[in-house]
Amino acid sequence: MSKGKYYITTAIAYTSGKPHIGNTYEIILADAIARYKRAEGYDVWFQTGTDEHGQKIQEKAEAVGITPQAYVDEVAGVVKNIWDLVDSSYDSFVRTTDDDHEACVKKIFKKLYDKGDIYKGAYEGMYCTPCESFWTESQLVDGKCPDCGRDVKPAKEEAYFFKMSKYADRLIEHINTHPEFIQPVSRKNEMMNNFLLPGLQDLCVSRTSFTWGVQVDFDPKHVVYVWLDALTNYITKIGYDPDGSNEMFAKNWPADLHLIGKDIVRFHTIYWPIFLMALDLPLPKQVFGHPWLLQGGDKMSKSKGNVIYADDMVDLFGVDATRYFVLHEMPFENDGVITWDLVIERFNSDLANILGNLVNRTVSMSNKYFDGVVRSTGVTGEVDADLKAVVTGAQAKVADKMDKLRVADAISEVFTVFRRCNKYIDETMPWVLAKDEAQQDRLAEVLYNLTEAITIGASLLHSFLPSTAEKIVAQLNTELRSLDQLDQFGLYESGKKVVEKPEILFARLDAKEVLPKVEAIQAAQKAEYEAEMARLNGGAPVEAAEEAVIDIEAKEEITFDDFMKLQFQVGEIIACEAVPKSKKLLCSQVKIGSQVKQIVSGIRSSYAPEDMVGKKVMVLVNLKPAKLAGVLSEGMLLCAEDAEGNLALLTPEKNMPSGAEIA
């Protein structure tokens, strides 16, 4: 029986280039949630796609000498191929250049204009091309875009504007009365404190300085603001029409979950809800701004030569190993870290050792001792009860984690089943039982218990690693079970035979063999980037710049005793927000050992509040407290600064515990 509808969307990928593994994480995460909801009995509609309009796309197309449509056709194909490669089970792949979407966007714009929510004016301000956003001087941070930190340029043009302030109070009330609407809570606090409570300005919703966009049909020199175009995909592609929507829209809206990256939370929790209010439509039930997957603790960038792509990972490790890593390694709220070494380590420790070896040993022992026949004899032992309790209790724990969108924790609960099975093998020692003729029925029961437990574990695993789960039950000569059966132990049919030759699910990897392949991938990537830069530079080769050095005036020497007065420790930032009265200050709650200190730092130009949470930092702990912009600061975060004023927090080279002394 269906539990009702469940409509989940990802952000639609911007077609400026090939998505890296951090982008691909989102589609894998959404797929795991969608698959689990289907397994729970929901009628799921899972939508993803590509965002294909805007000035940046037009400029990229012009740079390579093709039309914008040809450019986005190629990139959208790349995106879709990668989404398919990682085994995502989406129901709809949207393109914002689809005729039906463009037609509906025009109707939406006209409806909002006729209603008086959109009006014509002129815009003069600072414009960030990468973000496709206008800013006032007061909104800039050290003269740069407050979202991405890049340069902005003056822009003046005729434009249409949306009356954001008309709906601001209503949105604030909705957020306050629906605490589940924005998750995690840190994202909600950021939106309220940084944007809504200070007051919303009217939003520019059309452009005339470029042409690649949805044309405003009653004023053709204007194209619709890319975010108004992009966000509406969530309703246009399920049948919304201002002139009369269809049954599909009535069934699926409002969305149950918008799954997006934390960098676009503002657009989805301020702009989008206000657009919906103006259209007299219900708001989505929840917006989850997931963290980023960082390469070695840093954001992936072609200019740094550190981009990891899903297709490269799949070539080296396989689809399900790629899915496992990104799902398992991403915390609920803090950024995750990916390195090639870490992927190899997780592959060997979790997939090859814990899971693959367990299935192989169990099938092999069944063949060795009983010609593959698995039978229950009822000869139990003391350790059986705990095994059964762990295995049958796993589904409730997984369900609880998934309800809270803690997918990494959910997959850890599944692997708790496999770990318990391995422990059960160590406890029962089947190879010893096999030597005792009187223990044959006990040995058979042990192997039956293992087969049953692995079947339950595989059924739980299916939402996360679908192909692997199917391979496991195929080797056990059984089928995946529904979630409502997973609290029952003993459903495996006694007397069945497992396959004669077990398939190695995950063969251990040798880093010495994998890393040269990684180096070849990185070399090719760097060569491609340098060739692209040379082309943009008129054919001139890109020369490596000498690393800058900075000389500063030496301060008065201190004694060792002076230095010993300073107390430096490792701290972990557990919360961070902008200081309201300052454009430069961030206020962080820093856990140092068992205490938490509030520290105010002038680093807002280099770090967004949401980027700070989870970082391990070096802290001067015993600095005399002082107030900065009216906020008490109880210490100092250590940073390096270059000649251009860019800041970098000093962090421990290795993962050190909070409170560790720095000496």
Per residue in 82-139, pLDDT (tens digit) is 999 999 999 999 999 999 999 999 999 999 999 999 999 987 788 888 877 778 787 7
Specify whether the CB–CB gap between 491 and 485 falls below 8 A: yes
Residue 308 has pLDDT above 60, yes or no: yes
| CA angle at 477 for the pair 473 and 481, rounded to the nearest 5° | 45
The pLDDT mean for the chain works out to 91
Grouping H, G, I as helix, E, B as strand and the rest as coil, residue 8 is strand
Residue 542 has pLDDT above 50, yes or no: no
Residue 69 has pLDDT above 80, yes or no: yes
For residues 141 and 563, the model is more confident at 141
User: What does the pLDDT read at residue 547?
Assistant: 43
Grouping H, G, I as helix, E, B as strand and the rest as coil, residue 190 is helix
Q: Which CATH superfamily is domain 560-662 in?
A: Nucleic acid-binding proteins (2.40.50.140)
Parts of the chain belonging to CATH 2.40.50.140: 560-662
Q: What is the mean pLDDT of residues 71-79?
A: 97
User: What does the pLDDT read at residue 299?
Assistant: 60
Radius of gyration of the chain (CA): 28
Parts of the chain belonging to CATH 1.10.730.10: 339-497
Q: What is the mean pLDDT of residues 74-86?
A: 98
Q: What is the mean pLDDT of residues 614-633?
A: 84
User: What does the pLDDT read at residue 546?
Assistant: 43
Give which of 325, 258, 190, 287 is closest to 611, Cα–Cα: 190
Cα–Cα distance measured from residue 33 to residue 443, given in angstroms and rounded to the nearest whole number:
38
Taking the CA atoms of 644, 586, 596 and 654 in sequence, report the sign of the dihedral they define: negative
pLDDT > 90: percent of the chain: 68
- Report strand pairing: 5-10 vs 13-14: unpaired
Q: Give 327's pLDDT tier (boundaries 50, 70, 90).
A: very high
Residue 445 token pair: 């029961």
Q: With the CA atoms of 628, 632, 635 and 636 taken in that order, what torsion angle do they form, in degrees rounded to the nearest 10? A: -30
Residue 41 has pLDDT above 50, yes or no: yes
The winner for highest mean pLDDT among 147-151, 465-469, 605-609 is: 465-469
Specify whether the CB–CB gap between 162 and 187 falls below 8 A: no
Grouping H, G, I as helix, E, B as strand and the rest as coil, residue 463 is coil
Q: Let me know if domain 339-497 sits in CATH 1.10.730.10.
A: yes
Specify whether the CB–CB gap between 212 and 53 falls below 8 A: yes
User: What does the pLDDT read at residue 659?
Assistant: 85
User: What does the pLDDT read at residue 269?
Assistant: 97
User: What does the pLDDT read at residue 577?
Assistant: 82
Specify whether the CB–CB gap between 368 and 325 falls below 8 A: no
Residue 492 has pLDDT above 80, yes or no: yes
Instruction: Judge residue 241's burial from the number of C-beta atoms within 10 Å of its C-beta, 0-12 exposed, 13-18 middle, 19 or more buried.
Output: middle
Q: What is the mean pLDDT of residues 169-180?
A: 97
- 410-449 tens-digit pLDDT: 999 999 999 999 999 999 999 999 999 999 999 999 999 9
Counting every residue written for the chain, the total comes to 663
DSSP state for residue 65 in the 8-state scheme: T
For residues 350 and 572, the model is more confident at 350
Place of tokens 């689990």: 36
- Helix (H) or strand (E) holding 641, with range, is strand 639-641
Cα–Cα distance measured from residue 214 to residue 226, given in angstroms and rounded to the nearest whole number:
8
User: What does the pLDDT read at residue 48?
Assistant: 98
User: What does the pLDDT read at residue 579?
Assistant: 82
Specify whether the CB–CB gap between 378 and 445 falls below 8 A: yes
Question: CB 352: neighbour CB atoms within 10 A?
Answer: 19
Residue 288 has pLDDT above 80, yes or no: yes
Beta bridge pairs of residue 182: 287
* Cβ-based neighbours of 144, under 8 Å, separated by 6 or more: 150, 151, 152, 605
Grouping H, G, I as helix, E, B as strand and the rest as coil, residue 587 is strand
Grouping H, G, I as helix, E, B as strand and the rest as coil, residue 412 is helix
User: What does the pLDDT read at residue 417?
Assistant: 98
